[in-house]
Structure 1
């Protein structure tokens, strides 16, 4: 094994910038400890910097790949088994620990922008703080650390970095859930921790089976080819090595189960409503957006490696997608708490995110990423409206009744919420949501999964009922809803700085959603669709 000359620091900037932000936040807290919003401002700038550093990989085109930490030879000296050619015999290729194509860079960009919105939603309520309290820098550091893990996992190609980055993206969020200190928050954090441990165990075993099947410590196309006993020319190799293919399939199933916890796929979803409901709006938003970007990015790393085998559609993915869409929508229909509604919406939308992966192909991968970014943009707007409402009217803002007559009281906020909900439902004016659903269904139809396409279409209709149930009182409230929404705000009214930060987050995310709804090709063009 040899290392290629030089280290491309520019390629690593999406991860290095939030790491530098962690250090700057901690140092700044020592120098100017009195300003509560300062850590969040620095962390938001670092998140935007990470997003900006990913832009060259996004605009470089479908063939642009940014890679570093590259090595050549030696890893596959033992091969996948007796009689099968080693990887080095198949191809003496260079493997890179960091490899971000257009797909990975786009997810890094989305994660950075979403993290900046979450940090704005977390802006503190009071200007100053006592010398004993240090929650703000701790929260900012935890947000940035989780973002770093998300960015790294999207580009990691070796098993060790992939596993560590996944946990780096998860463990800080558990601490963020627990940080509010309430009994409900501690219970939710404990449930999330147990879920994370089970998930990590499944992922570790899946990664071990991958190494056993391929002899490679990389998720790579050539490693999968070696395990599949397919030469560069497509010639089938030793038939006696089929156990390696079985191990590879089992590895995929375990990895899918482990990431199913993080994606909130049924039946691994139980933690989602509890964790969302007991978290602050900012942390719930992070769980619903940035954490989901990291989970899909990790799954796409594996799927990209397996795509070389031209594997047919996966029945496990199909079942998980159908079950998640159906259960998520049915449970969301029963919710009057908007955060729990968005939690069950996450479960349903997770089914749509993995739906295109029944086609283990570049088309399926692009479609999954496009749908995820569409979901993230709409969910950010919805949670920003909730955060603004909660800060104005207190805990009553968690009820759908609190949004009765919002169109008359605050037309711009009602318009933003309408755009977000119609995007999630796949209805105009949220055109990007409709486009996302069409894009997600295309690989399913191409692969011939008729029954799955029928279930997805039925759930698209069911999803319309879910989101219109929340949107109805916004436009046409009942007398009870109008009376509840018109009660005095009381002590929940937010200070100017807090209100301004949330407003900026809402306006910024709503503008992005509006632009891609008017011009969907701006998003589709990133992936060459």
Structure 2
């Protein structure tokens, strides 16, 4: 008689995802008899509990479902960044939902389902789990982008859906080719099969890897797959733009780190193609931002440029590139969410600010003007703010891996970015006698998100080891790469 083999269903690694999913279900059901603000509080409590559960799992290295779900320190650190960005988005939505015409519980439910998908990606141990998380995240994101009753939101959401569907199709086909070449979906199995390229058809494997790179390129907005980004970030409600530009980007890079930093690190060709995409992304992102007059579209092109800087870390050795990517994603979340939170606090309509509207902001709202200036300085990579250290670590990882020319191009792109970051910063401190054009109502929760972003980029810039020291253990990243 064949002995009964019990499935590997450890509950502890599932806890952060399960708590978030329960929060999403609660937001769905409570919407029938609770006000929207109460549901937002319930959602934030669920996210905080999920974050606490991740802290308790630190250094545990637990897995579930035969390794399909991994609660290692890589997943936990990225998961905590996802929770942070999600909480900041909910804080902003607390005040902004009515003005953005999003004051209904379905928004919180969709956001929580999206967060569940992002955590699945970060915790994934194989390509199937990663794909499930990616689709849950993407489908929820499509709905969030179109929830606002306006033509701008509908157009941006439709563009996001169509291009996102193309990206997902390419990604799925790439997964099929990788499986055909290696016979496994597991990251560990793919890593072992490709260690000496001892696969029957290297050509299929390379094509699959390149298709995976293209599919992820849509999700993180690598050029030329970035076309949806300016329209979606600019046309969506600011809260949704904040979520898409931070939480979704973190999750997509978590998937790329798992696939290219671990499972397929030894597969040829993808690194060379990624170098070309990085150069195109940095050039197009910076050039696009130079000509923007709307602040949200400027931030969209800024997000494209930062995607190029973030992708540099994937070319580095996992022991240096992994911690650099994690630290940079944390800093990017804080400074981008902080800047968009200021916009959300002050804008009268979802069209947001034009740069001319920002003239003299310091004389009308000095605290918000200073906070936005800090976030912009950090995005530009100016010391002593954390954006400087994030870019430095990314450049260091690329340079030490031998990509000297690429690192120099990225550094020049970072210098060029000073032009479009300093322009709104200078306008805010110029005298202006015109009447105030900002929203004048209550915005305390949004202010809390702004303070969190500003304090975070300042403290992490002065004391980077508070975060970097936690993830810089080489043992974490050598295990990811199987060394």
Q: Which residue of 1 aligns with 2:69?
A: 98
Spell out, residue by residue over 1:455-486, the C-alpha distance to the aligned partner (whole angstroms, 9 max, x if none): 111101011112111111122x1x5xx234x3
Q: Does the Cα contact within 8 Å between 2:96 and 2:239 map onto a contact in 1?
A: no
Q: Does the Cα contact within 8 Å between 1:394 and 1:493 map onto a contact in 2?
A: no
Q: Distance in 1 between matches of 2:73 and 2:144?
A: 31
The correspondence of residues 122-161 of structure 1 with structure 2, limited to 5 A, is 122-123=93-94, 136-161=104-129
SS at match of 2:236: coil
SS at match of 1:99: strand
Q: 1:309 aligns with which of 259, 266, 272?
A: 266
SS at match of 2:298: helix
The alignment covers a number of residue pairs equal to: 469
Q: Which residue of 1 aligns with 2:433?
A: 483
Q: 2:462 aligns with which of 518, 522, 526?
A: 518
The correspondence of residues 43-122 of structure 1 with structure 2, limited to 5 A, is 43-57=43-57, 59-60=58-59, 64-70=60-66, 96-122=67-93
Q: 2:323 aligns with which of 366, 386, 402?
A: 366
Distance change (3 Å), C-alpha of 1:346 and 1:330 = same
**Structure 1 unmatched ranges of 5 or more:** 71-95, 128-132, 231-236
Q: 2:304 aligns with which of 347, 366, 370?
A: 347
Q: Does the Cα contact within 8 Å between 1:324 and 1:348 map onto a contact in 2?
A: yes
Q: 1:16 aligns with which of 4, 7, 18?
A: 18
**Structure 2 unmatched ranges of 5 or more:** 474-483
Q: Does the Cα contact within 8 Å between 1:313 and 1:360 map onto a contact in 2?
A: no
Distance change (3 Å), C-alpha of 1:6 and 1:191 = closer
Q: Does the Cα contact within 8 Å between 1:329 and 1:463 map onto a contact in 2?
A: yes
Spell out, residue by residue over 1:63-86, the C-alpha distance to the aligned partner (whole angstroms, 9 max, x if none): x5231122xxxxxxxxxxxxxxxx
Distance change (3 Å), C-alpha of 1:331 and 1:279 = same
Report the CA distance between 1:216 and its aligned residue: 0.8
Q: 2:371 aligns with which of 397, 416, 422?
A: 416
Q: Which residue of 2 aligns with 1:177?
A: 145
SS at match of 2:417: helix
Distance change (3 Å), C-alpha of 1:464 and 1:333 = same
Q: Does the Cα contact within 8 Å between 1:170 and 1:196 map onto a contact in 2?
A: yes
SS at match of 1:399: coil
Greater CA drift, 45-54 or 160-169: 45-54
The correspondence of residues 415-434 of structure 1 with structure 2, limited to 5 A, is 415-430=370-385, 432-434=386-388
Q: Which residue of 2 aligns with 1:328?
A: 285
1:493 and 2:443 correspond: no
Q: Distance in 2 between matches of 1:468 and 1:274?
A: 23
Q: 1:445 aligns with which of 396, 399, 403?
A: 399
Report the CA distance between 1:349 and its aligned residue: 0.4
Q: Which residue of 2 aligns with 1:87?
A: none
Report the CA distance between 1:205 and its aligned residue: 0.8
Q: 1:300 aligns with which of 257, 268, 282?
A: 257
Spell out, residue by residue over 1:276-305, the C-alpha distance to the aligned partner (whole angstroms, 9 max, x if none): 111111000011001101110111111243
Q: Does the Cα contact within 8 Å between 2:388 and 2:461 map onto a contact in 1?
A: no
Q: Which residue of 2 aligns with 1:509?
A: 453
Q: Does the Cα contact within 8 Å between 1:227 and 1:245 map onto a contact in 2?
A: no
Q: Distance in 2 between matches of 1:27 and 1:176?
A: 18
The correspondence of residues 255-294 of structure 1 with structure 2, limited to 5 A, is 255-294=212-251
Q: Distance in 1 between matches of 2:177 and 2:362?
A: 55
Greater CA drift, 35-44 or 298-307: 298-307
User: Highest Rg: 1 or 2?
Assistant: 1
Report the CA distance between 1:511 and its aligned residue: 2.3
Q: Distance in 1 between matches of 2:12 and 2:221?
A: 34
Greater CA drift, 357-366 or 184-193: 357-366
Q: Distance in 1 between matches of 2:81 and 2:318?
A: 22
Report the CA distance between 1:347 and its aligned residue: 0.4
Q: Which residue of 2 aligns with 1:92?
A: none
SS at match of 1:427: coil
Q: Distance in 2 between matches of 1:215 and 1:395?
A: 49
Q: Distance in 2 between matches of 1:526 and 1:428?
A: 22
TM-score w.r.t. length of structure 1: 0.83
Q: Distance in 1 between matches of 2:387 and 2:364?
A: 27
Q: Distance in 1 between matches of 2:20 and 2:5?
A: 26
